[in-house]
Structure 1
């Protein structure tokens, strides 16, 4: 029995020894592969984190570009400071912002939560970076550290001047806040250190790791390589990992470059424990032992078990990869939805909001998730809400997308031109049955209207130039004839004043034609100090015959102590004449037109009011368009108010129109007086 058992035991021990030998070699090979893959994954994660910081830096450049654009449109210093304050408030890392246009004054704002004294600490660096950015338009300038110790060591000044020669903007950024968003810093199995170009460690750095990185060790070599722009990997022993507070296991040290400053990259250093790999190894060893025991009992069963486990491990790895890929695609989809300029609302079967993207949340509020469809659009008009609700119902009933195009509806608290799409999901995902997509086309419609208006103005300008050229010659002939008649009559004749009035009016028409030509070929106006009261009386005298003919009374009301107005007298007179003529034409027989001039805080106002039929509300925005008229064919050209609008613009004034159908119209021209 012993003789029979002994060979079996020897064979079993040999098989077990062979199994251990083969298992050990396989384990060693897998260990190296696992270490390499672990290091590559960690390195990839760190490079993604570094790219995230670089994107943050790029966002800073975009914010400076945006700030420059907003400041370029700001009309006052107060508005400019308000724009800068808004940007500094949005980003917690923005402490101080400077802006300067050319050699003009510097606009300075400090964030409300900025540390005391940061403005004085960084003022010299801000001035220097403003000068550097102005010398290199379109390039993002980054300063070195403003201080060598304390929190200020991580203050950096970013500056940019747009290529289109807008204002130069600079900002003091607390890079410690930016670096604090690195996800690796919250990993319990890793220690992080960020070393800048001067060898200083950031506040997010592990103190012990930062100390080793600055000493003469293999870690300092990794840091130097990263600051030269190269990524590198090495392994460190279990004792060193324990000293850093990591599990007692071999760790991987990885350093990648972090590009922030222009002169040299920073170093992002991570020491990650491989305890998870070793735990996995122990599990594998236990499985091998169990497999060996099973082989000793039944070799075939053990082989089948090993093969089955091999397939299971392969399937598990594939599932992990698929899960990671799905998570990546999900994150990408969420980011795309959050950054598209359209509203996306996810609704459940019972019409409750289950998700909303950033664009729509900013307009409806972040608290609408979980609310009903009606509660989400609580500021919308009832009729408009019913239209969209029917659209969603049709989409769910037909299981096909439904759309509303170019609808002027009030869903967001104001009327807008919207494309509304209800898209049912072919396969219900979690608690989402239908997606409601809102495309706001209001700004696009506004741009189209501006383009159409610009085309009208170009056409009107070209036509005005042709008319001015054709009318100018007969006017010159008429003036010559009047001058000839005046020379025959002499200065003492009774008709001499009338002939002189005719010459003056011909000259005024000639100047008006020249102004129409100047619309195509702009020329500077001739500004002088004028009395508005005298101008109103002069217009009344000129149009008295016209008013009497149409049985309309003209009244002049000039306020007391009216200051003089510095403007082109011919253009001012033409503005008032055109407005009064329109007012006379709008009145019925027995009507009245009032010409008023009065002072207003910071300016002068001329009002032309009539008690005529008024202007319908639907066409009030069109009355200043060229060739638009409500008169019968042959009775109006549609250029009178258009000319008024152009002359008012040339005077740097503003025109307002108040009209009530059936009661009358008031045209108001406002000049700012300094």
Structure 2
């Protein structure tokens, strides 16, 4: 506590009192003071009136000089600008008032207590403010570094603040976003799993509990994005919800995995069903078509009967084709995998498909990347995939349009893309287009895209769909390239 006098001190203090009063003051000052207080306050001397033997007063390793009277203290320390009378004796206080010059402030014991508490409280408040600002900055840094988008809302859903991730994703300034409804940012452009996205904020405000919903949207590249939106209540002192924290997490990757698992489960069920159908349906079907053929060879059969038998045979053949497609789809492809020149395969296939494009008024553009790698696949199956994609594009452009077939490379795969300017795929059915037996054409088995997806999965590739209603659709096949590594030698 003891201080050396310096010009920066606001209060240079001399203390007057007996030993018990001085010790009490000393302890209070040490308990209340901090480094900031000690920069402005310094006790430089003490006077102990009436003491015959003056004690040596020490604090923090520094000696505080003591005097038998306050006059001696003031004469030896002209820098003192404040005297604290710590005994509370009325006569001594009266004497000091008459003696002290106007430049020295007299502070009585009770006033000294108040003065020290007030000063130290102010400094403590400043220290607390600094700590609070440090904590706020640290919390903001942590929240800004989170991958999830976070909005801070009032009870009506108005945005009060947001983290950097939400700001970057919105692509607008903070000034433009603050004051908007969070629904415009988190819920405006999507649908939930069952119809339009529900509002978790309303549920949180009503139930005082966390809530969530799932919404989806098509990004600026035409790709489907899935999000899960969470809302958490913030309570005030009377346990009412006055603020809400809204968090949005991108779950597109997880949704893709879930959809793949669901499709795998469907395929397993279809495999069991196809085996049963092959046994229970194809044998009676073979008998029906056999007898129908025999009746067709009967002489003297009238035309109406022949027409009916012909319908029976046609429908039997159609049912047999469906059964074969189903069985081929569910069993693993056993086609031999080899090195495939993707550009040569695309050129040969599109030479064949150019006539259907011309007949339908579709202008076809083929752009082949000469640097594309050889791919690890079966050429017949990749050709089948390409034909399926081109046929789908032609069906989406009944009144003509443009078709673009391109090849290229990214870091891990060779790419084969088919893009059209057709009607696009509606948002509500986009999740179903790779499902077996799903079709919007009213004809066919609905296995084309599902089969393409299955072929890519089996060779370690992938498939990507990008579509915008009224603009067109682009499907890209990701094919595994042949790696430049030595093949293991076969041993006998």
TM-score, scaled to structure 1: 0.31
Higher helix share: 1
Instruction: Report 1 or 2 for greater relative contact order, CA contacts < 8 Å, sequence distance ≥ 6.
Output: 2
TM-score, scaled to structure 2: 0.41
